[in-house]
Amino acid sequence: MANSEYEYVKREFEFDRRLPASNWIVVRIDGCHFHRFSKIHAFEKPNDENALRLMNACATSMLEKFPDIVFAYGVSDEYSFVFREETEFYQRRESKILSICVSYFTSVYGMKWKDFFPNKDLREPPYFDGRVVCYPNMKTIHDYLAWRQVDCHINNHYNTCFWMLVKSGKTEKEAQQTLKGTFSEDKNELLSQQFQVNYEDEPAMFRKGSSVYRDKVETKVKTDDYGNPIKRIRLAITVSNLDIIGPEFWGKHQYILQEGKYRYEYVKKFDDIRRLPCCNWIVVRISACQFDKFSLIHSFDKPNDETALSLMNASASLMMEQFPDIIFGYGFSNEYSFVFQENTELYQRNERLILSSCSSWFTSFYMMKWKEYFPSKELVQPPKFEAEVLCYPKPKIVCDYLSWRQAECHNRNQYNTCFWMLVKSGEDENKANEILKGTLSKDKNELLFQRFQMNYNNEPAMFRKGSCTYRQKKQD
């Protein structure tokens, strides 16, 4: 596809989300529908040792294949893989890292099946899902792994009791009811008294899960001239079942999770620019923050202050002058939506620049025009606006978006008109809310007509329909 007229489909639409630099990357892989899978393949309950060893073998292969994985922890049908902090594995592209890890793990699981289940055929393909999470420092990585090991203990403790009860003759519902609300000591007592089982004597692999890492071991590398072995310390992949919650393990293995060493230029990696997709209509919706308080401080009329709405419209008009790529604006109350033309290259479609500049310009115009519309009112509190960027691939969807906002304008204004008429007539605000609770549009129209002799459709169109800002063709 290179150097062809069609290459734009890659250049403009394919985006790789790169994970932030100076973060530890954790890929957690989890079996999908493994309750069904384990039942079909008759895994032992609560733990099938061969199934767990197969998972450990897959994790070991992952560390052999991907040197940037420094630690793995697994329990049941789940495994977490910790990549070193400064890894540049696939340029830290999330989709690549996640898909390749899950795919390779699945592939190894299928290939090694016969090694652990020589007398069982693989009756259906195993498959796994996964997620990528970034953690900013070693403490959070330690806490993450501690969380998984605590989860291992809680789940295995419960499952051990549950399946002992089921095997003793109880139904699964009866076993669940027996264990409902029990604490750790209750489960230990149940195992001891009913089944003469000391939970601490259960295999450590069941209770603590499995840790896979490179351990320092003394290895013979050659012999000297006299036949004596020469040994060196080498790193060898090890599977162990031990406590990783406390400091003892990490104190002895400080080399596993080492902080990366960077030059100062690495900070540039954090500046990940998101470009909005090509051939999409961009909509920037700007809304005032805490406008109830702002309007109260500046004594805006309720339910609508025509001058305040005119100020919003004037700011929108200036936005269209400032940004020729805006082709349409729609606003009501304290919000305004701006539609940019489909092929705009404003700021090279950099989301952050579009978002920040639009909200800043709108705020500045609002401030500049304040005295023109409120000559007798001081601006007591600075207004502030938030913004979001939306992308729509078709003009019809843009039209539907604008229709949705106008429907929202109608719903809000009709409610607010009724609410403030009730309040002005003497009802307190809680009572007014109660009266309007669950009412439909026709109910509100009837309330306004019967109690206040007001026809809602005679209210100013700016209140009922909002305001549209656009360029109209005129003959010079």
The single residue listed with the structure tokens 């910790």 is 82
What integer is the mean pLDDT of 337-345? 94
- Residues belonging to the chain: 476
Model pLDDT for residues 418-442, shown as the tens digit of each residue:
999 999 999 999 999 999 999 999 9
- The whole-angstrom separation of Cα 87 and Cα 260 is 9
What integer is the mean pLDDT of 131-142? 91
Confidence band for 353, pLDDT divided at 50, 70 and 90: confident
What integer is the mean pLDDT of 289-307? 94
Q: In terms of domains, do 323 and 455 share one? A: yes
Position 356 scores a pLDDT of 87
Q: What is the CATH number of the domain that holds 154?
A: 3.30.70.3000
Position 7 scores a pLDDT of 62
Q: In terms of domains, do 173 and 307 share one? A: no
Q: Out of 183, 211, 239, pick the residue that ends a domain.
A: 211
Q: Describe the chain by its helix, strand, coil percentages, rounded to 5.
A: 50, 20, 30
Element (DSSP H or E) covering residue 355? helix 351-373
Model pLDDT for residues 16-55, shown as the tens digit of each residue:
678 888 889 999 999 988 999 999 999 999 999 999 999 9
225 in any annotated domain: no
Position 18 scores a pLDDT of 84
When mean pLDDT is compared over 69-83, 90-104, 275-289, 337-351, the highest value belongs to 69-83
Position 1 scores a pLDDT of 37
368 in any annotated domain: yes
Model pLDDT for residues 230-288, shown as the tens digit of each residue:
778 788 999 999 999 999 999 999 999 887 665 555 555 555 557 888 888 999 999 99
Position 151 scores a pLDDT of 95
Q: In terms of domains, do 321 and 196 share one? A: no
Q: Out of 177, 211, 245, pick the residue that ends a domain.
A: 211
Domain with 90 in it: 13-211
Q: In terms of domains, do 342 and 436 share one? A: yes
Q: In terms of domains, do 286 and 421 share one? A: yes
426 in any annotated domain: yes
- The whole-angstrom separation of Cα 370 and Cα 100 is 56
Q: Out of 159, 182, 211, pick the residue that ends a domain.
A: 211
Radius of gyration of the chain (CA): 33
422 in any annotated domain: yes
7 in any annotated domain: no
Tokens coding 302? 């309720």
As a whole number, the mean pLDDT across the chain is 90
What integer is the mean pLDDT of 389-400? 91
Q: What percent of the chain has pLDDT over 70?
A: 93
Tokens coding 422? 């009730």
Looking at the predicted structure, is the pLDDT value of residue 61 above 60? yes
Position 278 scores a pLDDT of 81
3-class DSSP assignment, residue 229: strand
What integer is the mean pLDDT of 207-228? 84
Position 264 scores a pLDDT of 53
Among residues 253, 202, 75, which one has the least CA distance to residue 148? 75
DSSP structural state of residue 200: G
Model pLDDT for residues 152-185, shown as the tens digit of each residue:
999 999 999 999 999 999 999 999 999 999 999 9
- The whole-angstrom separation of Cα 393 and Cα 99 is 27
Model pLDDT for residues 449-474, shown as the tens digit of each residue:
999 999 999 999 999 999 999 998 88
Q: ∠ CA(305), CA(309), CA(311), 5° rounding? A: 120
CA 39 to the chain's CA centroid? 32
Domain total of the chain: 2
Among residues 250, 55, 216, 20, which one has the least CA distance to residue 143? 250
189 in any annotated domain: yes
- The whole-angstrom separation of Cα 210 and Cα 79 is 9
Amino acid at 138: M
Looking at the predicted structure, is the pLDDT value of residue 322 above 90? yes
275 in any annotated domain: no
400 in any annotated domain: yes
Burial string for 448-472 (b: 16+ CB within 10 Å, else e) reads: beeeeebebeebeebbbebbebeee
Q: In terms of domains, do 323 and 194 share one? A: no
